[in-house]
Chain A
């Protein structure tokens, strides 16, 4: 089955810096790669996603890149703000309807 590795497990940056979180997946059939943000005590919420026919997607300060050949994808957050502090999870999914498999999460801390 699918296995998703996520690095780093913790990341501390200064406000205004960029943050990058990287994930690798094992199943070459996976075709959907979402990122979720989970604030303390709250549910995970989808922040951006990418499908396998796209190499990069941006939404304001966040972007995701996908390298299908290498089976890895990354989340980029620019101009970080204290409210970006949270746990971020990457995930991968095979064909439509199958379950998302998550990485173990990255705790991002943005200090002002």
Chain B
């Protein structure tokens, strides 16, 4: 167990629907990062939060949004789902973003999303 908890593990939904993926970071970690992993694209960075605030955006579609709550858990919301959104979604956490923090993530086990 890495200490980073993602739920649900599997999700099957229809095109056009909306889903929410949840991530609880490792105890003490303030930063949460979301990544999408599809077969031919490796690990694509979506978005980063630090202590409740958005810090960086990567290749995140406008149909996707995220937030980090006061208890530091994060949710990734995917709407108007398309077949191409089927992928493994990972969240990772790291201690922070000071000089000594922000290195060496710990990944959760991922949520496998299948859009049919």
Contact = CB atoms under 8 A, between A and B. Distances in A.
Given A43-B108, A45-B107, A46-B104, A99 B43 contact: no
Contacts, number: 68
Q: How large is the interface on B (under 10, 10 to 19, 20 to 34, 35 or more residues)?
A: 20 to 34
A102 B43 contact: yes
Given A97-B31, A100-B33, A43 B90 contact: yes
Interface string B56-86: 1010000000000000000000000000000
A99 B42 contact: no
Contacts of A105: 42-43
A93 B42 contact: no
B45 A99 contact: yes
Interface string B7-47: 00000000000000000000000010101000011111100
Nearest to A100: B105
A37 to B, nearest CB: 11
A107 to B, nearest CB: 11
B56 A98 contact: yes
B33 A89 contact: no
B114 interface: no
Interface of A: 1, 6, 32, 34, 36, 42-46, 49, 89, 91, 93, 96-105
The 7 closest A-B pairs by CB, nearest first: A97-B97, A97-B102, A104-B42, A96-B102, A102-B43, A43-B107, A105-B42
